[in-house]
A = this chain, B = another copy of it.
Amino acid sequence: MNQRRRFEVTPVGAVESPLTDPAAAPKQGHEGAPDAWLVFEPRVLDALDGIRTGDRIILLTWLDRARRDVLRVHPRDDITNPEQGVFSTRSADRPNPIGLHEVEVMAIEGPSVRVRSLEAVDGTPIVDVKPVLRYPSD
């Protein structure tokens, strides 16, 4: 099980968003989140080649304000919802607080990618980007 192993995540960029208060952030992008810029570091720009306006991508972020010792939550922070394990919820609080966000690319300008309706707050570290897997061409 290699319980004692550790791996190091090195952010490849950061979110630039008008959203600054995590408490005010919508729980999911389609609940009124603002558009945002993904600003990538110069050293990884080659990795963006092939991403185009109109693409849907999966953005992985590191939710650096999350609590990593939380294993059970009331879904959607509503205490009238029965507690559940975090692996069956989208809680930011979880042992490895990686955020998954499916977003549409609106524009690409050098190291910056504009995306629609992102629920991550300003400054959130970007960990990875992947194509959405729903098309036979993947």
Contacts and interface: CB of A to CB of B under 8 A. Distances in A.
B60 A46 contact: no
A125 B39 CA distance: 29
Interface in A1-48: 1-3, 5-14, 28, 39, 41, 44, 46-48
A6 B125 CA distance: 10
Contacts of A80: none
Nearest to A113: B87
A85 interface: yes
A44 B85 CA distance: 9
Given A41-B1, A138-B90, A95 B8 contact: no
A7 B96 CA distance: 10
A46 B64 contact: no
A46 B6 contact: no
A9 B6 contact: yes
Contacts of A100: 58, 100, 130
A64 to B, nearest CB: 7
Contact of A1 (B14, B28, B47, B50): B14
Interface of A: 1-3, 5-14, 28, 39, 41, 44, 46-51, 55, 57-58, 60, 62, 64, 71-72, 83-90, 94-96, 98, 100, 102, 123, 125, 127-131, 133, 138
